[in-house]
């Protein structure tokens, strides 16, 4: 337990930031799962519509420090590749 006033404040701040980061990470994971589940479906237009919003969310999470920029680049690259493969298979 913190004894100093500044340590108590730090605990409060850390608790608040942890909650915000947890919520943001959850939103990101949900968006990625939604896109991945859409990849298994047959609706190419819906999947292509989800890609920009998911990529945008990934970029926002990088700016907030939720995920590392290289991890974000890896996720964006793989998701885009799968969406493009799905679109090419439907042609």
Domains of the chain: 5-90 (1.20.58.110)
32-63 burial string, b = 16+ CB within 10 Å, else e? beebeebbeeeebeebeebbeebbebbeebbe
Question: What pTM, to 2 d.p., does this model score?
Answer: 0.87
pLDDT digits (tens, 9 = 90+) for 10-46: 999 999 999 999 999 999 999 999 999 999 988 999 9
Q: What's the first-to-final CA gap in the chain, in angstroms?
A: 62
């Amino acid at each position: 337990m913190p004894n100093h006033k500044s340590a108590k404040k730090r605990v409060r701040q850390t608790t608040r930031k942890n909650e915000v980061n947890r919520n943001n990470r959850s939103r990101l994971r949900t968006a990625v799962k939604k896109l991945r589940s859409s990849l298994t479906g047959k609706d190419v237009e819906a999947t292509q519509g989800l890609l920009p919003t998911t990529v945008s969310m990934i970029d926002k999470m990088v700016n907030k420090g939720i995920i590392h920029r290289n991890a974000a680049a890896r996720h964006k690259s793989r998701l885009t590749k799968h969406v493009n493969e799905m679109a090419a298979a439907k042609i």
